[in-house]
Structure 1
Amino acid sequence: MRTLGNILWLVLGGAGIAVSWFVLGLLLCVTIVGIPLGLQCFKMGWLTLLPFGQTVVYGGGVVQFTGNILWAVTFGWMFAVGYFIAGVLNCITIIGIPFGIQSFKMMKLAFAPFGATVVPVY
């Protein structure tokens, strides 16, 4: 079921969004200052590429908290709103509910990625 969900996700737009995250990560990694932000974009890209069968584990300390505050205030809220809208639109139909749940999972990570780790679910 996980594989089918990931295939449908990729075909219906997940691949394009993941590529966008990877391109943004590469652009941010060009500068030394942007490397921490670029790494978070790569994390989002991997989760967006194959969301079914993965979960996000949150942890961290003061540095991660500070990074999340700066991320959320600058542009993280825009990414989170985009995933929220996608989740609501997906949840309108019964068939789209699993995709909506994945969008809500990505919304949380898009809002606060520092200190989070994407791990597979077995």
Structure 2
Amino acid sequence: MLTLLLNVLWLVLFGFAAAIGWFTAALVMLITIVGIPWARSALTIGVFMLWPFGRTAVDRRLLTGEEDIGTGALGTLGNVLWFLFAGWWLALGHLLIGLAFCLTIIGIPFGFQHFKFAGLSLAPIGKEIVDAPVVDAIRARYR
């Protein structure tokens, strides 16, 4: 119930506007043709931005047990380029917003979500968004 409440508050106060920003970025990437490889990651983050509590990003290789184009060498190259051209400043923005939210007790859960987005913004290619129970199952598989 708390997760639902936090997700609704997030969506109304911040998530919807941020998701629109990510969807717009993905559309621009698609239009430029050169940015197509990064558009999927921007869409994934945009959807994640709408409902982040109780969900997290995991490496797709851990989820499927197989390597694909996003989790292999091309994915690594894509993440390096993403980091150089966009990732570091997106992560810095989420870090600063997260720190601002953490200045109040009520804002701490929202700040932690921004810290999660900061990490994802550094290298989003090859990631999949999953619910928390799936993460527990993945951890159990690799123990």
Give 4+ residue runs of structure 1 displaced > 3 Å after superposition: none
Name which one, 1 or 2, has greater alpha-carbon Rg.
2
User: CA shift at 1:23, angstroms?
Assistant: 1.1
Q: Distance in 1 between matches of 2:39 and 2:33?
A: 10
Count of matched residue positions in the alignment of Structure 1 and Structure 2: 122
Q: Would you say the 8 A contact 1:47–1:106 is kept in 2?
A: no
Q: Unaligned regions of 5+ residues in structure 1, if any?
A: none
Aligned to 2:34: 33
Please tell me the root mean square deviation across aligned C-alpha atoms, in Å. 1.2
User: CA shift at 1:86, angstroms?
Assistant: 0.9
TM-score by length of 1: 0.93
- Structure 1 residue 86 corresponds to structure 2 residue 97: yes
Aligned to 2:21: 20
Alignment of 1:53-64 (within 5 A): 53-58=54-59, 59=61, 60-64=71-75
Aligned to 1:46: 47
Q: Distance in 1 between matches of 2:18 and 2:26?
A: 12
AA of the residue aligned to 2:114 = S
Q: Would you say the 8 A contact 1:52–1:102 is kept in 2?
A: yes
Deviation track 1:82-112 (CA, whole Å, cap 9, x = no partner) reads 1000111111111111111110111111111
- Structure 1 residue 67 corresponds to structure 2 residue 78: yes
95, 102, 108: which one pairs with 1:97? 108
Q: Distance in 2 between matches of 1:33 and 1:11?
A: 33
Q: Unaligned regions of 5+ residues in structure 2, if any?
A: 62-70, 134-143
Q: Which deviates more from structure 2 when the two are superposed, residues 103-112 or residues 54-63? A: 54-63
AA of the residue aligned to 1:92 = L
Q: Distance in 1 between matches of 2:76 and 2:28?
A: 24
100, 113, 121: which one pairs with 2:124? 113
TM-score by length of 2: 0.80
Q: Would you say the 8 A contact 1:56–1:109 is kept in 2?
A: yes
Q: Would you say the 8 A contact 1:21–1:44 is kept in 2?
A: yes
User: CA shift at 1:32, angstroms?
Assistant: 3.1
SS at match of 1:93: coil
